[in-house]
Structure 1
Amino acid sequence: MSNPSKSISPTLGVNLGAIYPPSDPLYNELPSLGTVVRAKNGRMYVLAQASAGIADNTTVILTEPAMTVAGGAGAWTTRSGALSTGDRAWVESNAI
């Protein structure tokens, strides 16, 4: 059984700025896609997987239930850097 808490620091929580490519050892140890956290800035973040390449600070469309994101006029924004297809990252809600 995998331990999803390996990617969570007991003092800092999840790393909202991290990008997890499929080659990352933590890739399969992450919380489930669709996991939602509320950050100190009041915004919600959801763990999603890029279905295409996405530039940093790009508005994205979140597709449920697959929890994949692609660039477009959506309600979420990438904040952790540019994403490649298959990368997993936390995306930020555009609303508080």
Structure 2
Amino acid sequence: MTKTDTTPRRTGRLADLRALPPTITLPTAGKMGWGLSRAASYQLHQLGNFPCPVVTVGARFHVRTADLARALGIDPALLLEGASLNEQAAR
């Protein structure tokens, strides 16, 4: 088995995270955060090595956007600041 690189990718991260809903699927989190394939994301989760907490919803696996941000070294409060700025601009 090949070792999967879980070093965070850094391109446009905050803007991308602000556009996400509160939870996303495991493969989406793996792709956005670390450039992982769907299979690699599930494999890391199965081994207990996915880089952030995973929540089971029925038979599906989800990641909270705030947990993804933390795993990438981004303060989740910054996600909310962007939302409140956008809400103020819309008024």
TM-score (norm 2): 0.28
More strand by share: 1
Structure showing greater radius of gyration is 2
TM-score (norm 1): 0.27
